[in-house]
Amino acid sequence: MSGLLKLKTAAELRQIYLRHEMFPTIFCDGCGLGNVLNYTLWALDELQLDLDRTVFVSGIGCSSRLSGYVNADGMHTTHGRALAFASGIKAAQPDLNVIVFTGDGDGSGIGGNHLLHTIRRNMDLTVILVNNFTYGMTGGQAAPTTPIDSFSTTTPYGNIEYPLDICALAQTLGAPYVARWMINQPYPPIKSIAQGIQKRGFALIEMLVPCPTAYGRRNGLKQLETIWQWYRDHTILIDDYEHIMHFGSPDERAALHDKIKIGIFQDCERESFEARWAALVEQVKL
Amino acid sequence: MHVIELNEHWCKGCRVCVFHCPTKSLRIASRFTMRGIHPPELVEAERCNGCRLCELLCPDFAITVMEAVSVNA
């Protein structure tokens, strides 16, 4: 990979990668899903991937609209089953690059079981899991990632359930590449998505995306500036977090309890399903 | 000197570019586009340092930052 990003202009990018008849996007004011698509396309551009050999798979939800905007083959599948469809594509055609767009409700709630088992199998997929803390498209119900004490349509008196940390789950299951980013800074997610695509094995990139309409409106974060600033205030880079936990004063450590860690959590090598499958086919061949 | 090119059919006027601009050179225009929204505009071209943050952060692929080249140069 090149050391420095050589960016084209957005005008050139949208000429190559986007389906113009689908635009303008359906996303609300202040939603960051467009940014996720933007960063994914910059990452594709950095790697110079062939769009004819790339498949975009998505489930149901706001985030899953993203695959429709890219000028490549894609599947818009049933709720939560994006990873199951993607596994099928990858198993049938291992030389395709498969990128999955999924949301927190779609990927970790309804399709939580598929997430577990696709990571366990170590399919060579790049999963961009967009976390906006809520089921945005269906009207703001509480998702597995909704923070404790926050309000939603199904938790009008505050959420009493502990949220799921998707990155910690993927790390425990041994996914080769696990990262979480927020969308305020463009360059780390672009680099990270490019690394995830290059990784042989399951790469999970969780993107924290503000949702002012369904989540923010009920939690005092309706204004665009407020919700984007909330993400800036409530995230901390993993290196800084560990540094403060080691050397910080008790007050500094106490200030970290409600912050979300961002950064690359796991980057290791593990033999993927395709490699083991090819070896097995070679071994039992008559 | 830089100029911004705006795709007015795609911009939804969400102001993400305006409040992220590090040099505060963008502002919301008072005119309307065909979609009925107030688009961003470059108010002080000298102050813009061409960091392209608005271009990278635009959720709708609407802004392009370009360097203005003088014809006489």
pLDDT at A3 over 70: no
- pLDDT of the residue at A1: 44
Is pLDDT larger for residue B66 or for residue A194? A194
pLDDT in tens, A185-207: 899 999 999 999 999 999 999 99
Report residue B32 as tokens.
Answer: 């309307």
Could you tell me the pTM of the whole model? 0.90
**Average predicted confidence (pLDDT) for chain A:** 90
Beta strands A134-135; A141-142: pairing state:
antiparallel
Q: Does B33 contact A at CB distance below 8 Å?
A: no
* B11 vs A contacts (CB less than 8 Å): 24
pLDDT in tens, A115-162: 999 999 999 999 999 999 999 888 889 999 999 999 999 999 999 999
Closest CB from B20, B56, B60 relative to A24: B60
Question: Would residue B28 count as lying in a domain?
Answer: yes
CB of A107 closer than 8 Å to CB of A144: no
DSSP character string of B7-60: -TTT-----HHHHH-TT--EEE-SS--TTS-PPEEES-TTT-----HHHHH-TT
Beta strand extents in A21-139 (DSSP E only): 54-58, 73-76, 97-103, 126-131, 134-135
Closest CB from B53, B60, B64 relative to A25: B60
Report residue A30 as tokens.
Answer: 């202040």
pLDDT in tens, A247-279: 988 888 888 888 899 999 999 999 999 999 999
CATH class of A29-284: alpha beta
* B7 vs A contacts (CB less than 8 Å): 11, 14
Quote the minimal CA–CA distance from B6 to chain A in Å: 10
Distance CA A50, CA A44 (A): 9
User: CB-based contacts of A199: which residues, under 8 Å, 6+ apart?
Assistant: A126, A176, A177, A267
Q: What is the ipTM of this complex?
A: 0.89
Quote the minimal CA–CA distance from A193 to chain B in Å: 15
Q: Identify the residue among B2, B6, B12 best suited for mutation to test binding to A, counting A beta carbons within 10 A and taking the highest.
A: B12
pLDDT at A4 over 60: no
Question: Would residue B73 count as lying in a domain?
Answer: no
pLDDT at A94 over 70: yes
B17 is in which domain, residue-wise? Answer: 2-67
Residue % of chain A over a pLDDT of 90: 69
Contact pairs from chain A to chain B, CB under 8 Å: 73
pLDDT at B71 over 80: no
- pLDDT of the residue at A153: 93
SS3 A208: strand
Number of domains present in the structure of chain B? 1
**Average predicted confidence (pLDDT) for chain B:** 86
Q: Identify the residue among B11, B17, B18, B56 best suited for mutation to test binding to A, counting A beta carbons within 10 A and taking the highest.
A: B56
Question: Would residue B9 count as lying in a domain?
Answer: yes
CATH of the domain at B30: 3.30.70.20
Instruction: Give the residue extent of every domain in chain A.
Output: 29-284
Question: Would residue B63 count as lying in a domain?
Answer: yes
pLDDT band at B47 (very low <50, low <70, confident <90, very high): confident
pLDDT at A2 over 50: no
User: CB-based contacts of B32: which residues, under 8 Å, 6+ apart?
Assistant: B38
Quote the minimal CA–CA distance from B45 to chain A in Å: 18
Quote the minimal CA–CA distance from B58 to chain A in Å: 7
